[in-house]
Amino acid sequence: SGSCATKTCWMMLPKFREVGYALKDKYSEAEYVEPVRASRYRRPVFLKIKKSSTYRKPMDTDLVYIMNSPNYCEEDPVSGSVGTRGRLCNRTSPGAAGCDLMCCGRGYNTHQYKKMWQCNCKF
């Protein structure tokens, strides 16, 4: 009587939330890079990270950028951003519609409104 053992291995993607956390960490540590040209008229050969007085090539695992993102909190007609000033926000929401995030830490004013109308109620 012989015995048989089978072993099956497969790759599995991590949970979506774990990927999101990893990307958020990379985003917060992203570094500005400058293109290095081989000569005056040629395309960039590689990118370099500039930190104070030192330069180094980014590693394959580094997240880098070549331009700063626009400030979406302030109005910018060039980028088409209308900013967040004057927009209504949800004071209790921790998400993107929440006042803390939408108002970019500048603070916000709360207003209470009282509205009366005819409801055509019948008793």
Beta strand 54-56 with 31-37 is: unpaired
Among 48, 19, 44, 45, residue whose Cα is nearest residue 33 = 48
Would you state the pLDDT for residue 14?
Answer: 92
Per-residue pLDDT, 25: 93
Query: What does the pLDDT read at residue 54?
Result: 66
Q: Could you report the average pLDDT of every consecutive run of 10 residues in the chain (123 residues)?
A: 77 92 92 75 66 73 86 83 83 84 83 83 76
Give the model's pLDDT for residue 45: 64
Element (H, E) at 31: strand 31-37
